[in-house]
Amino acid sequence: MSMPKWIGPYLQEKSVNFEVHRHEPVFTAQEVAQTEHVSGFDVAKVVVTTTERGPMLFVLPAPYLLDIETARQAFGLAHLRLSTEREMSAYFPDCEVGALPPLRHWDNVEIALDYDSFHGERLLFQAGTHEDAIVVNFNDWLRIAEPTTGHFSVDPNERGNLLRFRPWLKASAAVLVVAIAVLTGWGLASLFQFSTFGELAGNVMISSIGLVGAALILGCLSFLALACLQGVLVVLPAPFLACALWLMKTKNPLLH
């Protein structure tokens, strides 16, 4: 199959300078980058999806994957899934399956861009076949494609780690929150001299201080270690925790 005849005239009509590259047949965006000897972050991967509003194209760098659930929430969609090959052939009959150019040629087809993931001045994308590619200025492409922007791509390596450690992250976060809540509540009770509640809390804490302290340390270390592994920025209520620990030190005779 040859490159669709409308692509060149369309770009010329939009006053976009472009280059057409012919290469051996390749079937993934990463293979296109390797064949063209460019960074995968300068190659647009076009993921075709089906939503309640019709087909939607997600444009992201070649090395990244589409996070379906993140994309669904980011664009307020009730339903979002990858299109089947039959659907892609029906939506875009003039292009080979898996070689769609991210251009506004078809009616009622939305284009979404993971803007923060692209940093180069040039953008390369497949031109309707597995043997043709087009290179344009990134800003020119933004001007003519007018994509909706959002964050929906994920590094496959980070995604694998996140899926592997997600249960531990949730458990560590739960332990951390409970420990901070208990310590802060007891500390505030002691601070304001609520005698009845303070005495009750003090008795409870005297018998469980070792357990809570161990849980707090374990929760902090495991949660922070796993969060750092995922590149997640964690902000803890440090002032409240520091206040609670200081009050425990000054109010609880077992800690003197």
The predicted pLDDT at position 119 comes to: 83
Handedness of CA 240, 244, 245, 246 (dihedral sign): positive
Q: Highest mean pLDDT range out of 111-115, 184-188, 222-226?
A: 111-115
Range in 15-24, 112-121, 177-186 with the lowest mean pLDDT: 177-186
Residue 165: the pLDDT is 44
Task: Say yes or no to pLDDT of 18 above 80.
Answer: yes
Q: Indicate if the pLDDT at residue 163 is higher than 90.
A: no
Contacts 24+ apart (CB under 8 A), 217-226: 218/172, 218/175, 219/172, 219/173, 219/175, 219/176, 219/179, 220/176, 222/168, 222/172, 223/169, 223/172, 223/173, 223/175, 223/176, 226/165, 226/168, 226/169, 226/172
**Which tens digits make up the pLDDT trace of 47-100?**
999 999 999 999 999 999 999 999 999 999 999 999 999 999 999 999 999 999
Residue 166, token pair as written in the block: 């997600």
In tens, the pLDDT along 219-255 reads 566 556 555 554 444 444 455 555 555 555 555 544 4
Q: Which of 214, 194, 212, 205 is nearest to 248 (CA)?
A: 205
Q: Where are the domains of the chain?
A: 7-154, 157-255
pTM over 0.85: no
For 43, which DSSP code? B
Residue 50, SS3 per DSSP: strand
* Average of per-residue pLDDT across 170-192: 61
Query: Strands, E, within 78-173: which ranges?
Result: 80-82, 110-113, 122-126, 132-137, 148-149, 153-154
Write the CATH number of the domain with boundaries 7-154.
3.90.960.10
Residue 144 pLDDT exceeds 80: yes
Percent of the chain at pLDDT > 70 equals 61
> Which range has the worst mean pLDDT, 13-27, 82-96, 154-168?
154-168
What is each CA distance from 158 to 227, 229, 232, 243, in whole angstroms? 11, 9, 11, 36
Distance from C-alpha of 150 to C-alpha of 75, rounded to nearest angstrom: 8
**What is the pLDDT at residue 2?**
85
